[in-house]
Structure 1
Amino acid sequence: MSAGTTSAGLRLAFGILSVIPVEVERVDRPVAGRAMACAPLVGLVLGGLAAGVLALAGWAGTGAFTAAALAVATLALLTRGLHLDGLADTADGLGSAKPAPDALRVMKASDIGPFGVLTLLFLVLIEIGALSRLGRDGSGPAAAALGFAVVTGRVALSIGCGPGVPSARPDGLGAMVAGTVGRGVLLAWSLVLVAGAGLYGLVQGPTEALRALGAAIAGLAAAALLLRHATRRFGGITGDVLGALVETAGCVALVVLSTG
């Protein structure tokens, strides 16, 4: 892969997955694939910004719950609610109990159904609750956990674009990125998560390194189960499914990190 394609892919990753203004000059399948491979880098930046908001709120004395809510809201703003919208649409599609073509039409509709509303409500409540629990020991542990969980969620997105994963539609984001991320890239990001768990342990203590590693494994396993189910149900991935993978993996990782 050329340096130009990698650079274009990184810009496209930030252009699609965040509100950070970037100049996107090229959009094709090779660049889109590189963008999905770069998704964890976007997560590192967004997670760092949200963690900074959480730490600042904690320093200002807002209380653990308010600080957690502000951090979750910051992530939603930084992503334009893209992944949350994907999660809601995927929940509506899976909950519709309709054949794949009809379920895909449900997902593409502009409104959000009851399954989507409930899924979003519970996910946000769970994330705020987990961060509030971590925040009882200070904003530092909560901020570190949030950053780690956000990156884990974006590794799940890369996995969703891995080898052998089909697209549910002949067009759209899913068709452009399905099967574009190689096994070598996925292995590299897995090793990055292991290293990140080690760094988390250096800050929080040796036991917490194992907890962070378990959080990453649990988050990615939950995303893999959702990916398998959605692929069977819809015939492949869509952009909405990828967003659902991000939110599922990040939420599960955050819950595991908060159990200490």
Structure 2
Amino acid sequence: MPLGGLKSLASLLTALPLGGGSLDEAARSFYLVPLLALAVGAASASPSALAVEAGVGYIAGGAVYTLAYILLTGGIHMDGLADYSDVLGSRASGGEALRILKDPRKGAFAALALSLAIALSIVFPGEVLRLSSPGAFIILAASSHSGAAASMYMLLAAGPPEPYRGMARAFSLEARGRVALFAATSTASATASSAALALYGYPWWLVPLQWLSSLATGVWVLRSARSTLGYVNGDVAGFCFEASRIASIVATALALGVAGV
């Protein structure tokens, strides 16, 4: 079940040609999402690390990372970022918030949020590349994705599930019953990342800092969802992942700059 479930989860959350997966199986295996995100983050960061090693600039390296990430995931989380940003920008709640969320047209706030997210996803990873080594960057990027996935899991586990038979409802309900398994995979991911980072000579505490940044962002998104929609759906989850990932990598760049390592 873990391998089959991981394949179903990867089929849903990435653009990899793995064949169709079972939604129910993916939901039951959702506790593995920190490990899946760790792998996706490492795969997204590796081309940019190689590019910097080959002599491209750091900002260009950040752009390579962002492009690889979007290609690997199909931009699934960024779509949620755009949709829920329109809700936040409108300050609507209840039925009006849902109407805005389901409108297939992207509004001005969605365009602004996407532009800002992409800019931050280029500039701050570029700064991390400048302040660290290519190998350390891969670890830090992977950990930022893993922490963001953990934030998304906790959002779906703690938030009110969507009151209709949407895809996120199954994940919300399954997440609540597998918190212990999720805690184990999260601990394994964070511990492995911290140990690997220390081997490269960088402070191990950068990984807990990333996770704390992500989880704090998740708490904010949960409070926001309660006051707008009244529940958590797939768009809110996607927004949470992107906001948490960006908060994590920004915190990483700032900490590296302050620590001077």
Q: Does TM, scored on the shorter chain, surpass 0.5?
A: yes
Q: Secondary structure at the match of 1:62?
A: coil
The Cα shift of 1:101 comes to 1.7
The Cα shift of 1:25 comes to 5.1
Higher relative contact order (CA 8 A, sep 6+): 2
CA distance in 1, matches of 2:155, 2:172: 8
Q: Does 1:56 align with 2:56?
A: no
Q: Does 1:148 align with 2:149?
A: no
CA distance in 2, matches of 1:231, 1:178: 15
In 2, are the aligned partners of 1:161 and 1:178 still within 8 Å (CA)?
yes
- Give the residue type in structure 2 aligned to 1:201: A
The Cα shift of 1:176 comes to 2.0
Residue 117 (structure 1) aligns with? 111
Aligned counterpart for 2:100 among listed residues 106, 115, 140? 106
Summarize the Cα distance change of 1:186–1:232 in structure 2 as closer, same or farther, 3 Å threshold. farther
The Cα shift of 1:143 comes to 2.5
Residue 5 (structure 2) aligns with? 9
In 1, are the aligned partners of 2:45 and 2:65 still within 8 Å (CA)?
yes
- Give the residue type in structure 1 aligned to 2:5: G
- Give the residue type in structure 2 aligned to 1:211: L
Aligned counterpart for 1:192 among listed residues 172, 188, 192? 188
Q: Residues 41-52 of structure 1 correspond to what in structure 2 (within 5 A)?
A: 41-52=35-46
The Cα shift of 1:34 comes to 2.1
Q: Which runs of 5+ in 2 are unaligned?
A: 257-261
- Give the residue type in structure 2 aligned to 1:186: F
Q: Does 1:212 align with 2:207?
A: yes
Summarize the Cα distance change of 1:166–1:172 in structure 2 as closer, same or farther, 3 Å threshold. same
Residue 34 (structure 2) aligns with? 40
CA distance in 1, matches of 2:201, 2:98: 44
Residue 121 (structure 2) aligns with? 127
Percent of paired sites with the same residue: 24
Q: Which runs of 5+ in 1 are unaligned?
A: none
RMSD, matched Cα: 1.9
Residue 203 (structure 1) aligns with? 200
Residue 259 (structure 2) aligns with? none
What does the per-residue CA deviation read over 1:155-210, in whole Å, with 9 as the maximum and x for residues that have no partner?
22221232x532234021122221311220232234224402233233233xx211
- Give the residue type in structure 2 aligned to 1:203: Y
Count of residue correspondences: 251
TM-score by length of 2: 0.88
